[in-house]
Amino acid sequence: MRMQRIEPDRAQREGLRHYVLPDGRPLELFWVLAANPAVFDALRQATTAYLRDGTLPIRDREVLILRTLARVGAEAEWAVHVELFGRAAGLSEADLAGISNLDRPLPADVEGELCAFADMLVRSHRLDDSSWNRLAARYAPAEVMEMTALVGQYQLVGMLNNVLGLEPPQGLPGFPDRTA
Give the pLDDT confidence of 112-160 residue by residue, as tens digits: 999 999 999 999 999 999 999 999 999 999 999 999 999 999 999 999 9
- Model pTM above 0.75: yes
DSSP result, 21-85: -TTS-B-HHHHHHTTSHHHHHHHHHHHHHHHHH--S-HHHHHHHHHHHHHHHT-HHHHHHHIIII
Domains of the chain with bracketed CATH: 56-164 (1.20.1290.10)
The pLDDT, as a whole number, for residue 36 is: 86
The pLDDT, as a whole number, for residue 5 is: 66
The pLDDT, as a whole number, for residue 19 is: 86
Q: Can you tell me the distance from the alpha carbon of 98 to that of 41, in angstroms, rounded to the nearest whole number? A: 33
Q: Can you tell me the distance from the alpha carbon of 20 to that of 78, in angstroms, rounded to the nearest whole number? A: 15
> Which residue stretches of the chain have pLDDT < 70?
1-6, 178-180
